[in-house]
Structure 1
Amino acid sequence: MTNVRNRLIAGLPAADQGRLLAMCEPFELVLSEVLCETGMPTFHAYFPVEGFISLVSMIDQSPGVEVGMVGSEGMLGAQLALGVSVTPLRALVQGPGTALRISAPAFRKALKRSPELQHAILRYVHVLMTQLATSSACLRFHMIGPRLARWLLMSQDRAQSTHFHVTQEFLAYMLGVRRVGITAAAGALQRSGLIVYHRGDIEVLDRKGLEAAACGCYAAECRAYEAFLH
């Protein structure tokens, strides 16, 4: 089990890994695919291997705003470990790739058989709670530029590449702002030599500079995840 590329699964003892992986199936993450909707039953849990998923809060008839992100560090469907079968947020594929998928009944069975898996998932729920709380405060108090820098760093971490594709429309949707605000913020980052952005293709040129430009929420989330690992 040495080549498990989802870090949450990789942290389990070998026997627990083996039992969980035997219950999973490969699943392709297709860009912009909605994996689950707010308020609907949770049919599957997903452990991303490559690619990543946006967690979007839906309010009334609004298009929603991103409040979290899941990549190979975690999973989608962690609420099942709390005995909750209803999906709390819309899950939208933001970066294409692959995942391991397990049915909700099989995942509940795996949890019952593995205290180590239960412990790992509950600690991960804490990380998600921190991310949701941080995103809510960030949306309210921070300017678009630092928020965009934070978002790009989070996406780069999960894409595991300095290059990724995202349109201005999608960025505006994720950050809950108008497209003109994204244009201005991305332009400022590009003029500072931190990124190159052209027709939806983003290249991070200066990672350290982008970290300096981001709001403190990015560093806070990194600390929360590092604490989860130990």
Structure 2
Amino acid sequence: MNQLIESLPTAARVSLLALCEPVALTLAQVLAEAGSLTRYVYFPTASFVSLIAELDARHRVEVGMAGREGMVGMQLALGHKHDPLGAVVQGAGEALRVRAAAFRKELARSAALRHRLLHYVGVLMNQRANAAACLRYHEIGPRLSRWLLMSQDRAAVDEFPVTQEFLAVMLGVRRVGITGAASDLQRRGLIRYHRGQLTVLDRAGLEAAACSCYATDRQTYSHLMER
């Protein structure tokens, strides 16, 4: 189950679930394009999605992630009907989907849902601020370690598919930088990477190698969402 939905009071949770339809998300599926009209919101249950800022056709970078702890389409809770970011499925799997119009009506009706989502807005604001600072100040290796940990948290498995081209886009670096950083992590016995499949071998070691942003993001989520 999606943790945002689970955290709602019983009546609000039942009402929202009545609007949801289960969908299977596929790897690299585009759920939203920046500037497009929002058609659906998604609550991942066994999948996760990269949220991508697009400067132009050639320059994109990941500024957030949404898995079973969150949702895609948060802008509707702030009164915006268009997608501010692109959304691409990074981890295939199940999700719950709600039509945008129905979700807006539920927001207007349910104070409990509005209250919960405002806490999640705080999480996203901190996540994106950290992403900007991380991009500017931290080295590729620690940033890659952070990204892999975030992905593993949402995939809930040790092994998942990912290409170096995709990682380069997500981290906003050249592929050669990803190759070097991934090779270093592999030499240290923290990961194994072969033919597009990455396996986390040493979770504790990867946490030690990650930049401080990983721990900050987790602390922020716990602080804001467990109120």
1:183 equivalent in structure 2: 179
Q: How far apart are residue 228 of structure 1 and its match?
A: 2.0
Residue 70 in 1 paired to residue 70 in 2? no
Give TM-score scaled by structure 2 length: 0.98
Residue 114 in 1 paired to residue 110 in 2? yes
Q: 2:124 aligns with which of 118, 128, 137?
A: 128
Q: Describe the superposition over 1:159-181 as per-residue Cα deviations: whole angstroms up to 9, x where unpaired.
A: 00111110111111111111111
Q: How far apart are residue 229 of structure 1 and its match?
A: 2.3
Q: How far apart are residue 63 of structure 1 and its match?
A: 3.7
Q: Count residues in correspondence.
A: 226
Aligned-partner Cα distance in 2 for 1:9–1:210: 30
Aligned-partner Cα distance in 1 for 2:139–2:205: 17
Aligned-partner Cα distance in 2 for 1:94–1:63: 18
Report if the CA contact (8 A) 2:61-2:171 is conserved: yes
Give TM-score scaled by structure 1 length: 0.96
1:215 equivalent in structure 2: 211
Q: 2:29 aligns with which of 12, 29, 33?
A: 33
Residue 167 in 1 paired to residue 159 in 2? no
Report if the CA contact (8 A) 2:53-2:86 is conserved: yes
Aligned-partner Cα distance in 2 for 1:147–1:199: 22
Q: 1:19 aligns with which of 12, 15, 19?
A: 15
Residue 202 in 1 paired to residue 198 in 2? yes
Residue 105 in 1 paired to residue 104 in 2? no
SS at match of 1:93: strand
Gaps of 5+ in 2: none
Q: 2:152 aligns with which of 143, 151, 156?
A: 156
Q: How far apart are residue 98 of structure 1 and its match?
A: 1.0
Report if the CA contact (8 A) 2:120-2:225 is conserved: no
Aligned-partner Cα distance in 1 for 2:100–2:52: 21
How high is the sequence identity, in percent, across the aligned residues? 59
Q: Describe the superposition over 1:154-200 as per-residue Cα deviations: whole angstroms up to 9, x where unpaired.
A: 00000001111101111111111111111110010011111111111
Aligned-partner Cα distance in 2 for 1:122–1:42: 19
Q: Describe the superposition over 1:79-107 as per-residue Cα deviations: whole angstroms up to 9, x where unpaired.
A: 10111111100000001001100011110
Aligned-partner Cα distance in 2 for 1:27–1:109: 21
Tell me which amino acid in the other structure corresponds to 1:127.
V
Report if the CA contact (8 A) 2:43-2:95 is conserved: yes
Gaps of 5+ in 1: none
Q: Describe the superposition over 1:4-23 as per-residue Cα deviations: whole angstroms up to 9, x where unpaired.
A: x1000000111111110111
Q: Describe the superposition over 1:96-150 as per-residue Cα deviations: whole angstroms up to 9, x where unpaired.
A: 0011000111101111221111011111011011111100111111110000000
1:94 equivalent in structure 2: 90
Aligned-partner Cα distance in 1 for 2:29–2:59: 15
SS at match of 1:50: coil
Aligned-partner Cα distance in 2 for 1:10–1:217: 26
Aligned-partner Cα distance in 1 for 2:153–2:196: 18
SS at match of 2:183: helix
Aligned-partner Cα distance in 1 for 2:59–2:122: 27
1:142 equivalent in structure 2: 138
Tell me which amino acid in the other structure corresponds to 1:136.
A
